[in-house]
Structure 1
Amino acid sequence: MLTLVALVEFSAGAEATGQRYEDTVLALLSRHHGRLERRLRGTDGQAEVHVIQFDGRAGYESFLADPERAALRDALGESAPTTRVIEVHEV
């Protein structure tokens, strides 16, 4: 099991676009044996935090390489959110 926390920051003025992108991309997780455990939005609407689990690293890597995900991101250009991903474990 691979657990990740993603800190997603939306471009100023493109918050709604970024949120729609995340809605679409997160729906792709199941293709790669991943699931969204938790999705939290900052009170200012500028960022989200996602807790995501994959059955293994291969699923995460295939999610990153998903051509539909890449096409969606490319279509947003500079409006695409920035994401920092941290691998985590229970303590």
Structure 2
Amino acid sequence: MPDVAGVLTLVAIAEFAAGAEASGQRYEDAVVSLLGRHGGRLERRLRGTDGQSEVHVIRFDDRASYESFLADPDRAALRTALGEAAPTTRVIEVHEA
């Protein structure tokens, strides 16, 4: 079943810095809480069995909503506060198969 027109579905793979797993998880908690401001919804949150990574399935109402989330100053401040301990994240745009 195809996604509804305009809806943007993403998979985000966050990898935590060695020794900073707890900080990375707190960062992800905080960032996920910002999604609703921008028309985003966390559909699924999975943690790697090694504790080093998380996978999120996220939907936004449209691309503009996602871009608004990326530009959120609170999100940027959270990332800056963590510095080198901030997770590295790969984002993949996906659709229903």
Shift of 1:51: 0.1
Cross-structure match for 2:63: 57
TM-score normalised to structure 2 length: 0.93
Shift of 1:74: 0.3
Cross-structure match for 2:46: 40
Unaligned runs of 5+ in 2: 1-6
User: Residue type of the partner of 1:55?
Assistant: D
Percent identity of equivalent pairs: 80
User: Residue type of the partner of 2:69?
Assistant: F
Cross-structure match for 1:69: 75
| Greater radius of gyration (CA) | 2
Moved segments of 4+, more than 6 Å: none
Aligned length, in residue pairs:
91
Cross-structure match for 1:13: 19
- In the alignment, the residues of structure 1 paired with residue 71 and residue 53 of structure 2 have an alpha-carbon distance, to the nearest angstrom, of 23
TM-score normalised to structure 1 length: 0.99
Q: CA RMSD in A?
A: 0.3
